[in-house]
Amino acid sequence: MPDKYETHDCDVLVIGAGGAGLRAAIESSAMGAKTALVCKSLLGKAHTVMAEGGIAAALANVDEEDDWRVHFHDTMAGGKMLNNWRMAELHAKEAPERVLELERWGAVFDRTRDGRILQRAFGGHRHKRLSHVGDRTGLEMIRTLQDKGVHQGIDVYMECTITRLLMDGGRVVGAFGYWRESGRFVVFRSKATVLATGGFGKAYPVTSNSWEYTGDGHGLAYRAGAELIDMEFVQFHPTGMVWPPGVKGLLVTEAVRGEGGILRNSKGERFMFKYLPEANRKDFAADEAEATRWVESVLADSKPDGRRPPELSTRDNVARAIYTEVKEGRGSPHGGAFLDISYQPADRVKKKLPSMYHQFLELADVDITKVPMEVGPTCHYAMGGVRVDADTCVTTVPGLFAAGEVAGGMHGSNRLGGNSLSDLIVFGCRAGRGAAESAKTASRPTGSLDRQIDEAAAEVNAPFGRTTGEHPYALHSELQEIMGSCVGIFRTESDLKEGIRRLEALGPKVRNVRVEGSRMYNPGWHLALDLGNLMVISEAIARSALARPESRGAHSRLDHPNYDPHFATVNNCVKQNDTGGMTVRETPLPKMSDELRKVYDEVEAMSLPAKA
Amino acid sequence: MAETREFQVFRGDRSGGKMETYPVEVTPGMVVLDAMHRIQATAAPDMAVRWNCKAAKCGSCSAEVNGKPKLMCKTRLDALPADRPVEVRPLRTFPLIRDLVTDVSWNYEVNKKIPPFTPKPGAVWRWKQEDVDRVQEFRKCIECFLCQTVCHVLRDHQKQPVFNGPRFFVRLASLEMHPMDGLDRLEQIKEKSGLGYCNITKCCTEVCPEDIRITDNAIIPLKERVVDRFYDPIRVLFRKIFGSASLTKPE
């Protein structure tokens, strides 16, 4: 007999309550749509709280030369021109307004001396562009949006996991899920649905991501027939903690380098100078003396003197540099590089980087005001995701929208630090608007959804009925091991093929996963269900990586170390085929408008002056 | 080198439960949450534990470790006495769901009743860093609810219906002291928040993982503002003569 379930009707269903989901729900609700917001955790605990360094927006409060054009240029250059240019344009143009809006909703950013929002430097950004609150910017964003949202009449469903999108004639008309607390089932009937589920770092053994990051939205969209693009581009943040074992991978904010943090190897060499790509070496300090002058100007809160230090290269580049230093035997005692901010006044470090100070002191017995930190690469961010229309965030499936990390295209092959929080509010807002508009004309499904609901219920119940099969924790470890060793920071054709072969062998075991206990708040069961999504994205990453025999941005092929001009014009696109298998094909990159191309070229030609 | 320590963890739900013992192999720098994960992966896959970031940024993994409210992700095993088992229980002040997970939804209900940030009309959005240092201290709150669980007004006297608790005094203070907030909040603070029940024992400050000086910087200043407004005899007289609108929130 099928289980009973409760049903909730809404105009717009938002899945995920991080920055993008909350912003989408606020916009949709402000437009008069009855809005339901569903999240796996308690409200306000989403992964956005872990964002530290800041929100990139060309407010030009600190560096007057900044404007949206330069931000657009930097974003495209960071993504190695593979970005959806229209998304990068909208993002650069709208981020300032979205940041100021947060302030009007109660966010309290750090200030410049003349009382405006302070901005700091970050990798790949030509100007000081990141509005921030010490190193807890994500918390400020989520709390501001949360308090705005709950007073606006959004219906929030906490600790609720969605396992399937419900379809009616090719359109998404709702979702099926379960309450984590009771294990009871719940159905949402919606006219439009927004995915804002974040990324999938939990596919990797060393990650800065929390347990929630299991690629749920990617999996839901894929199974509903949507296209995923750029899945080969997985960002490894260069600086995660490497010791003690329990916190391996925990993020060390890029703000440490933005505030002047220096990277050295075990021989004391400042190695980043030798890893700067020729193409943009001109944007960086030529030597330690110039880098020191730049840091001194930051410390003095004055106009930049000299060009930025090499540590502020893009994340893909710094991560590869640290990985290479360690691999070649110049690593720190626990297998990382040294990141040093201790040469600065202790009070300043504690004020600018309070969470980092506490994190190292309490978890690693390291006082960062006295000695260097040890850091190494950690899986951090998914550039790839669901293909969306830039203006409305609608996916290739009617009724389904996506925003934030789950959406693909905005960041191309590599995301710049600070561009994630701005992405969340710019496209969260647009997705909320797009969904609310679409809901106005959508009608309720004509047919019955009962069969889909029964199937979905049977699927989530199945792991309890099995007498054979492995535990979800063991299978999860195996998956992470495969991804870490075969589809990691550096890739080769043979490793990728091996990874795909092992994933194919793991598939049947995951489909036969066994769970003990009851449905009441059962983390083993929750993980067992999340594994299905992790399998989809892992296969998508490995197959997309194999289909791009070149190195670009975060995708580094040891067997194809250079750019290939052909791959500058295509995205790899993943879709479920008619037999349930995965197809990867190339789709042409949208061609940038002439006007924007001109903007890009003009900014590119403006080299930053090297002061004597 | 592998050292083993014994953990006693509460297992059960509203119908009852008991402490279960689990031996756990420990590694250097290990925290209590690591141990809970190891128990899940080996001995008890269905053990309910709420957690998210494992970085002391989200405030999800609150529990009572050796009788003290703590974030499990921040509690190092080498800081706990080695000669006895580590005891882990759910937060006592909130209704139990299962094992280490409690129902904290009451806190969300309280938050809903606090009027949101309301900018002053014609506000000019410029302020000095010094003007917001205090507000930023309050906004560090990660809503772990350790202050709520330790506060005796909630824990022992169950004043939930009339007392917001330290977390929301911090929230009220962050709004009351926000340089751009234009709402007069003192009436609500005096009448609705239950601030008067707090007798400043500072237990909340002691457990705050974000080192927010809840009592000194939030609760006492709020109490002072309420006293200034409603109990200062000169002000009371002033108000009687000129009406209550003559004394609004201090600029």
Predicted confidence (pLDDT) per residue in A67-93, tens digit: 999 999 999 999 999 999 999 999 999
Domain-wise residue ranges, chain A: 6-233+383-441, 238-379, 456-582
CB contact under 8 A, A245 and B101: no
Over range A189-202, report the average pLDDT. Answer: 98
CB contact under 8 A, A363 and B57: no
CB-CB neighbors (< 8 A) of B29 in chain A: 243-247, 363-365
Spatial separation of the C-alpha atoms in residues A572 and A566, rounded to whole Å: 12
CB-nearest partner of B57 from A50, A364, A472? A50
CB-CB neighbors (< 8 A) of B126 in chain A: 114-116
CB-nearest partner of B55 from A133, A359, A473? A359
CB contact under 8 A, A245 and B97: no
Q: What pLDDT is stored for residue A304 in this prediction?
A: 82
CB-CB neighbors (< 8 A) of B55 in chain A: 50, 247, 250-251, 359
Which chain A residue is nearest to residue B78, measuring alpha carbons? Answer: A363
Over range A458-483, report the average pLDDT. Answer: 96
Render pLDDT for A395-451 as a digit per residue (tens, 0 to 9): 999 999 999 999 999 999 999 999 999 999 999 999 999 999 999 999 888 789 999
Over range B23-51, report the average pLDDT. Answer: 96
Instruction: Map residue B71 onto helix, strand or coil.
Output: strand
Instruction: Map residue A104 onto helix, strand or coil.
Output: helix
Please, which residues bridge with residue A338 across strands? Answer: A264, A374
Render pLDDT for B94-107 as a digit per residue (tens, 0 to 9): 999 999 999 999 99
CB contact under 8 A, B45 and A50: no
Contact A545, A552 (CB under 8 A): no
Q: What pLDDT is stored for residue B238 in this prediction?
A: 76
Q: pLDDT confidence of A246, banded at 50, 70, 90?
A: confident
Q: Is the pLDDT of residue B242 over 80?
A: no
Four-residue CA torsion sign, A22, A27, A29, A34: negative
User: Which of A163, A135, A160, A153 has the alpha carbon at shortest distance from A43?
Assistant: A160
Q: Is the pLDDT of residue A611 over 50?
A: no
Q: What pLDDT is stored for residue A58 in this prediction?
A: 98
CB-nearest partner of B40 from A116, A250, A523? A523
Q: Is the pLDDT of residue A485 over 50?
A: yes
Spatial separation of the C-alpha atoms in residues B147 and B168, rounded to whole Å: 10
Work out the number of other CB atoms within 10 angstroms of the CB of residue A587.
13
CB-CB neighbors (< 8 A) of B128 in chain A: 111, 115
Contacts 24+ apart (CB under 8 A), A266-272: A266/A330, A266/A331, A266/A332, A266/A338, A267/A330, A269/A330, A270/A310, A271/A321, A271/A325, A271/A330, A271/A337, A272/A309, A272/A310, A272/A311, A272/A313, A272/A318, A272/A321
Q: What pLDDT is stored for residue B243 in this prediction?
A: 65
Spatial separation of the C-alpha atoms in residues B155 and B152, rounded to whole Å: 5
Q: Is the pLDDT of residue A487 over 90?
A: yes
Q: Mind telling me how many Å the CA of A268 is from chain B's nearest CA?
A: 26
The residue written with tokens 């930051």 in the block is A298
Over range A464-485, report the average pLDDT. Answer: 96
Q: pLDDT confidence of B232, banded at 50, 70, 90?
A: confident
Distances (CA, A) of B86 to A390, B63, B113: 52, 12, 38
How many CA atoms, within 13 angstroms, populate the side-chain half-sphere of residue B131?
A: 18
Distances (CA, A) of A228 to A1, A504, A549, A573: 36, 20, 19, 6
Q: What pLDDT is stored for residue A607 in this prediction?
A: 67
Q: Which CATH architecture has domain A6-233+383-441?
A: 3-Layer(bba) Sandwich (3.50)
Q: What pLDDT is stored for residue B50 in this prediction?
A: 97
Spatial separation of the C-alpha atoms in residues A280 and A411, rounded to whole Å: 19
CB-CB neighbors (< 8 A) of A245 in chain B: 27-30
- Retrieve residue B149's tokens: 């669980």
Best to test chain A binding among B34, B139, B174 (most A CBs inside 10 Å): B139
CB contact under 8 A, A108 and B74: no
Best to test chain B binding among A102, A108, A514 (most B CBs inside 10 Å): A108
Which chain B residue is nearest to residue A45, measuring alpha carbons? Answer: B58
CB contact under 8 A, B41 and A150: no
Please, which residues bridge with residue A77 across strands? Answer: none
Best to test chain A binding among B47, B50, B58, B110 (most A CBs inside 10 Å): B58
Spatial separation of the C-alpha atoms in residues A43 and B235, rounded to whole Å: 42
CB contact under 8 A, A523 and B143: no
CB contact under 8 A, B139 and A151: no
CB contact under 8 A, A363 and B98: no
8-state DSSP, A612: -
CB-CB neighbors (< 8 A) of A362 in chain B: 56, 74, 76
DSSP alpha helices (H): ranges in A442-492? 450-465, 472-486
Instruction: Please tell us whether the domain made up of A238-379 is placed in CATH 3.30.1050.10.
Output: no
Which chain B residue is nearest to residue A519, measuring alpha carbons? Answer: B46
Q: What pLDDT is stored for residue A38 in this prediction?
A: 98
CB-nearest partner of B41 from A108, A134, A473? A473
Best to test chain B binding among A39, A41, A45, A471 (most B CBs inside 10 Å): A45
CB contact under 8 A, B178 and A181: no
Exposure string for B88-112, b = 16+ CB within 10 A, e = fewer: bbbbebbebbbbbbbebebbbebbe
Q: What pLDDT is stored for residue B244 in this prediction?
A: 54
The CA-based angle A425-A427-A429, given to 5 degrees, is 65
Spatial separation of the C-alpha atoms in residues A100 and B131, rounded to whole Å: 19
* The most confident of A193-197, A248-252, A354-358, by mean pLDDT: A193-197
Q: Mind telling me how many Å the CA of A284 is from chain B's nearest CA?
A: 31
CB contact under 8 A, A246 and B101: no
Q: Is the pLDDT of residue A335 over 90?
A: yes
Q: Mind telling me how many Å the CA of A405 is from chain B's nearest CA?
A: 17
Q: What pLDDT is stored for residue A2 in this prediction?
A: 53
Q: What pLDDT is stored for residue A612 in this prediction?
A: 35
CB contact under 8 A, B54 and A250: yes
Q: What pLDDT is stored for residue A140 in this prediction?
A: 98
Spatial separation of the C-alpha atoms in residues A5 and A178, rounded to whole Å: 9
Render pLDDT for A513-542 as a digit per residue (tens, 0 to 9): 999 999 999 999 999 999 999 999 999 999
Spatial separation of the C-alpha atoms in residues A183 and A166, rounded to whole Å: 19
What is the reported pTM? 0.95
Catalogue the active-site residues of A.
Answer: 237, 257
Q: What pLDDT is stored for residue A145 in this prediction?
A: 98
DSSP E strands, A4-159: 5-9, 12-15, 35-38, 55-56, 119-120, 130-131, 155-157
Helix then strand then coil, in percent of chain B rounded to 5, is 40, 15, 40
Spatial separation of the C-alpha atoms in residues A208 and A185, rounded to whole Å: 31
Instruction: Map residue A436 onto helix, strand or coil.
Output: helix
Cβ contacts below 8 Å, chain A against chain B, sum to 162
Q: Is the pLDDT of residue A498 over 70?
A: yes
CB-CB neighbors (< 8 A) of B34 in chain A: 246
Lowest-confidence region among A22-36, A261-275, A352-366, B224-238 = B224-238
Distances (CA, A) of B237 to A91, A592, B189, B191: 56, 70, 21, 20
Percent of chain A with pLDDT over 90: 93
Over range A275-288, report the average pLDDT. Answer: 92
CB-nearest partner of A45 from B49, B58, B126? B58
Four-point Cα dihedral A71, A73, A75, A76, nearest 10: 160
Work out the number of other CB atoms within 10 angstroms of the CB of residue A506.
18
Chosen CATH of A456-582 out of 3.90.1200.10, 1.20.58.100, 1.20.120.160, 3.40.50.880:
1.20.58.100
Beta strand pairing call for A192-195 and A400-402: parallel
Domains and their CATH numbers in chain B: 3-102 (3.10.20.30), 105-246 (1.10.1060.10)
Q: Kindly write down the DSSP assignment for every residue of A33-67, as one continuous string.
A: --EEEE-SS-TT-SGGGG--S-EE----SS-TT--
CB contact under 8 A, A50 and B127: no
Instruction: Map residue B63 onto helix, strand or coil.
Output: strand
Best to test chain A binding among B51, B117, B132, B174 (most A CBs inside 10 Å): B117
Over range B220-246, report the average pLDDT. Answer: 81
Q: What pLDDT is stored for residue B248 in this prediction?
A: 46
Over range A229-234, report the average pLDDT. Answer: 98
Write phi, then psi, for A492 (nearest 5 degrees): -135, 160
Q: Is the pLDDT of residue B171 over 60?
A: yes
